[in-house]
Amino acid sequence: MKESFYITSSQLTGDICPVFRKCFTISGEIKCAQINVSALGVYNAVLNGHKVGDDVLAPGWTAYGSRLQYQCYDITPLLKKENELQVTVGRGWFSSPMPGFTEGEEKNERMNCQRALIGEICLTYEDGRQEILRTDDSWEWACSPVLFSEIYDGEIYDARLNPVAWEKASILDWSKDILIPQEGEAVREMERVAPKEIIHTPVGETVIDFGQEVTSYVQICLPDAKAGDQVEFLHGEVLDQQGNFYNDNYRSAKAHVLYTCRDGAQTWHPQLTFFGFRYIKLVQFPGTPELQDFEAVVVYSDIKRTGWIETGHAGVNQLISNIFWGQKGNFLDVPTDCPQRDERLGWTGDAQVFVRTASYNYDVEKFFTKWLHDLAADQRPDGGVGMVIPDYLPDGQPSAAWGDAAVICPWQIYRTYGNPQILADQFESMRKWVDYIGSVTNTKDLWTGGEHFGDWLGLDAPSGSYKGSTREDFIASAFYLYSTDLLIKAGKVLGKDMAEYEALKGRIRTAFSKAFPEYKTQTEHVLALYFGLTDQPQRTADELAEMIRAAGTSMKTGFVGTPYLLHVLTEYGHSDVAYDLFLREAYPSWLYSVGKGATTIWEHWDGIMEDGSFWSTDMNSFNHYAYGSVADWLYEKAAGIRPLEAYPGFMRVRIEPVTDKRLGSLEARLQTRSGLICSGWKYIGDAVRYEIRTEVPATICIGGREQEVMPGNYTFWA
Ligand code: BGC
C-alpha cells in the first residue's frame, strides 16, 4: 500500500461525492486476486457492477491523524476479462462537520479536507506472474450520483445520473505512515427490520413505524417509478404528545434522505451514512406507499453475541432487549453515546460505564482493542484523555470518570476475555493517565480542581444543571484511587514492579479519608463502597439503603453512580432494595421507559414524561446505552455468574444467584472464552429450583451453602 498514491478529484466537487475508477484487462488465467483499499472518507467499491466485500462505511473511524485502516478483499470471483472498478468516496467521519455543537479551527480544517482514495489491485496469475495496479494518476474520477452524503445530514442521490465525464485523478500528498491493516470488527449489514405500520398523523404526515429503534439506513424498493420521481424522508425516534412526527432532539443533524428515481423498478439505500431512528416521515413519495416498499438495513460492527438473559417478567425481558439494541445501535466501529443527534461520538465516560455489560453481551475484544489503540493514539502529550475518542473535541478538558476509560476499559476487556495482550498494549496509556491526574491536581494525592462532568444527569442535580450533587472533587479523587488500583493490577499481570503506584494508592486512600470523612449523596456512598474507600463498608451500605428508602425507594444517581448502585446493594445484604429499584415501574426507573414503549435505553430516565411531553431538545436521546449497564448486575448478581479476579476469562467462576419472586424466573447464559456458563432459577410456589450448567470449574453458593464443582449440570432446590 505504501507505494500507492492517495488520489483525489482534480477539481473540488463541493457536496458531490467523487467516484474513482480503474479499467483493466486480465492477461491470462487468474489464480487469485485481491484489492487492498482505504480512503480519506468512507468508500463503496464496486467491481463490474458488484459490491466488493460486505463491509460498509469502511475504512471505519480511527484517530485519523495517526491511524487509518485499510481493508483487503478477495475479488477473484468478480473478475472478468475486461474489468471496471469504481469506488465512491463520501465524507464519512473523516471530513464531516463533527461535532455538530461546536465550532473551531480543527473542525473547519477537517470539513475542508479533500476526500481521497488509496489502494492496490493485486492480480496473481496461474503462471506465477503478479501484477499490481496501484492508485496513481492513471486512475480516473468523475462526479457520482451521490450528490451529498454526510454523517449527520444524510444523503442525496440522483439515480438518473451516471458518471460520464471521467478525468485524470490528482495525487494528494498525505501521510502513508498512518496506514494500518483492519484492526476492529468490520461494520456490516447485520439485520433487516421490516416496518410495522404506516401512520397518518393528526397533522397529516405519512410516517412509517419500524417498531424498533435501529441504527440503520432505509432501503426503498420501487416496483415501477418514472425518471424524476422523488422519495424524500426524515428520521425520528419518537412521536410527540399528539402522535406527530418529531425529531427536534436531533438538534442540528438533518437526518434527511432524498432519492431521485430513474425509470423502472429500482431498489436503493444510502451507502455512505447511517441514521438512528424508529420512524421515518415521508416528505415525497411517488404513488401510495406500502409497507413492503421499505426495509431498515441495520448496520453495526460484526460482533458475535455471547450473552443471553431471559426472565419470567415481560417488562424486564423488554428492558433486556432494549439493552441489546442499545449496544447494536451504538457499536458502529466506535462506542458512541448515541446514533442520531449531532454527536454520535466516542464519549469515553459512556464507554467506561457500559464496557462490562458490552463484553458479556457480545465478544467485543477486537472492537475495544481498536478503540483503545485510538485512545492511546489521541492521548495528549501530558497524558490527558479527551472527552471523546477519536478526539474530535481537542479543546475539551479531560474529566474524571471519562478519561478513566483509559484504565477501566482495558482492565475489563482483560477480565472478561483473559488475554493480557490488551494490558500490554495499553499499559503506557493507562500509566500516563494516572500520572496526568497527579500532574494537574490542586491537592497532592487527590484530584481536586479541573473541569468535570460530575455525576452526569444525576437526579439530585440542582435545578438547571445536568450534573448531580455529588462533589466533583469526591468523584475525581475516588476515580484517581480506582484507576491507580487497576493500573497496579495490570502492572502485576504484566510482571512489573508497581511499588511506586502502591505507595501512591496508599497515600490517596489516606488523603481521601481525611478530605471526605462523610458521604453526602447516594453516589458518594456507592463510590466509597465500590472503590473500597470506606473503612466501614457495612455501615456505608446500610446508610445508602436507608437513603434510598427515605427517598421513596428511588435512586438519585447519575452516569457515575448508577452502574455500581445495584452491585453494592447486593454485595452488602440489601438485595431487596436492589430488586425494588430494578423492578420499580414509576419514574425514575429502568422499567419506566419500558412502560412508555421504549425499544432502546434512553439518555434521561424521563426522556418522555408522564404526560407524554419531552425533555428539552438540548439533550434527549432515546438510544443512549449508559444505563443499560444494569445488565452486568443481572449476569453477575441476579444470575450470580461472578467472575473471579484470579481467574480472568472465566477460567473458574463463582455462581451465587440472588433471586426475587417478582421476577419469577431468570436464566442467563454466557459463552466465555473458557466455556459456556448458564445459571437459571425459577420459583415454584415458594421454593426455588436452580439449574446450573458450567463448562468451567465453579464454586456454587446457594442458600448459604458452598460447593466446589467440576464442569457439568447441576440442579438444586432451596
Ligand atoms: C453525551 C453524553 C456524554 C456527555 C458528557 C453528552 O452530550 O451525549 O453521553 O457523556 O455529553 O457530559
**Cell numbers of 692, please?**
446450573
Ligand 1 pocket member 333 (CB < 6 A)? no
What residues form DSSP beta bridges with 266? Answer: 222
The CA 347 to ligand 1 mean position distance, Å, reads: 7
For residue 1, tell me if it sits in a domain: no
Last residue of a domain, one of 608, 638, 668: 638
Last residue of a domain, one of 130, 149, 184: 184
Q: What is the CATH number of the domain that holds 34?
A: 2.60.120.260
For residue 210, tell me if it sits in a domain: yes
Protein residue with least CA distance to atom 11, ligand 1: 347
Clarify whether residues 352 and 232 are in a common domain.
no
Q: Helix crossing, 314-330 with 348-361: angle to 10°?
A: 120
Residue 619 Cα: closest atom of ligand 1 = 7
d(CA 314, CA 675): 29
State the catalytic residue, choosing from 343, 472, 524, 636: 343
For residue 556, tell me if it sits in a domain: yes
Clarify whether residues 507 and 609 are in a common domain.
yes
Q: Which amino acid is at 700?
A: I
Q: Quick check: 616 pLDDT over 90?
A: no
Q: What is the CATH number of the domain that holds 479?
A: 1.50.10.10
pLDDT score, position 106:
87
Q: Which comes out higher in pLDDT, residue 704 or 592?
A: 592
Ligand 1 pocket member 343 (CB < 6 A)? yes
Clarify whether residues 314 and 407 are in a common domain.
yes
**Cell numbers of 612, please?**
407524554
Ligand 1 pocket member 354 (CB < 6 A)? no
d(CA 573, CA 539): 11
The CA 178 to ligand 1 mean position distance, Å, reads: 29
Q: Which comes out higher in pLDDT, residue 17 or 1?
A: 17
For residue 220, tell me if it sits in a domain: yes
Clarify whether residues 316 and 276 are in a common domain.
no
For residue 648, tell me if it sits in a domain: no
Q: Concatenated DSSP letters for 399-428?
A: -TTTTTHHHHHHHHHHHHH--THHHHHHHH
For residue 37, tell me if it sits in a domain: yes
Q: Tens of pLDDT along 151-169?
A: 999 999 999 999 889 999 9
Three-state DSSP state, 152: coil
For residue 99, cis peptide bond before it (omega within 30 degrees of 0): yes
Phi, psi of 357 (to 5 degrees): -55, -45
Ligand 1 pocket member 627 (CB < 6 A)? no
Handedness of CA 457, 389, 98, 220 (dihedral sign): negative
Residue 120 bears catalytic tag? no
Using alpha carbons, list the distances in angstroms from residue 253 to 58, 237, 382.
Answer: 22, 13, 34
Range of the domain at 333: 307-638
Residue 348 Cα: closest atom of ligand 1 = 10
Clarify whether residues 153 and 266 are in a common domain.
no
Clarify whether residues 214 and 171 are in a common domain.
no
DSSP 17: P
Ligand 1 pocket member 455 (CB < 6 A)? no
d(CA 116, CA 41): 7
For residue 472, tell me if it sits in a domain: yes
Residue 131 bears catalytic tag? no
pLDDT score, position 464:
86
Last residue of a domain, one of 604, 638, 672: 638
State the average pLDDT for the chain.
97
Percent of the chain with pLDDT over 90: 97
Clarify whether residues 437 and 577 are in a common domain.
yes
State the catalytic residue, choosing from 155, 365, 543, 603: 603
Which among 569, 704, 694, 697 is positioned nearest to 644, based on CA atoms?
A: 697
Q: What is the CATH number of the domain that holds 692?
A: 2.60.420.10
- Mean of pLDDT values over 261-268: 98
Residue 349 Cα: closest atom of ligand 1 = 10
Residue 466 Cα: closest atom of ligand 1 = 12
pLDDT score, position 167:
97
Clarify whether residues 399 and 425 are in a common domain.
yes
Protein residue with least CA distance to atom 1, ligand 1: 337
pLDDT score, position 664:
97
Clarify whether residues 334 and 458 are in a common domain.
yes
pLDDT score, position 347:
98
DSSP 633: H
Ligand 1 pocket member 456 (CB < 6 A)? yes
pTM of the model: 0.97
Clarify whether residues 75 and 195 are in a common domain.
no
Query: 43 and 15 in contact (C-beta within 8 Å)?
Result: no
Handedness of CA 258, 146, 266, 45 (dihedral sign): negative
By the 10 Å C-beta count (0-12 exposed, 13-18 middle, 19+ buried), 535 is classed as: exposed
Residue 621 Cα: closest atom of ligand 1 = 8
Percent of the chain with pLDDT over 70: 100
Clarify whether residues 287 and 342 are in a common domain.
no
Q: Tens of pLDDT along 643-692?
A: 999 999 999 999 999 999 999 999 999 999 999 999 999 999 999 999 99
**Cell numbers of 142, please?**
468523475
Structural domains of the chain, count = 4
For residue 646, tell me if it sits in a domain: no
H-run or E-run covering 125: strand 116-125
- Mean of pLDDT values over 75-92: 98
In which band, very low, low, confident or very high, does the pLDDT at 144 lie, cut at 50, 70 and 90? very high
- Mean of pLDDT values over 524-539: 97
Q: Tens of pLDDT along 22-61?
A: 999 999 999 999 999 999 999 999 999 999 999 999 999 9
Q: Are strands 698-702 and 705-709 parallel, antiparallel or unpaired?
A: antiparallel
Clarify whether residues 368 and 317 are in a common domain.
yes
The CA 467 to ligand 1 mean position distance, Å, reads: 11
Q: In sequence order, what are the residues at sequence separation of 6 or more whose Cβ sits closer than 8 angstroms to the Cβ of residue 506? A: none
Q: Which amino acid is at 398?
A: P
The CA 65 to ligand 1 mean position distance, Å, reads: 24
Helices and strands: H and E segment counts in the chain:
14, 38
Q: Tens of pLDDT along 285-332?
A: 999 999 999 999 999 999 999 999 999 999 999 999 999 999 999 999
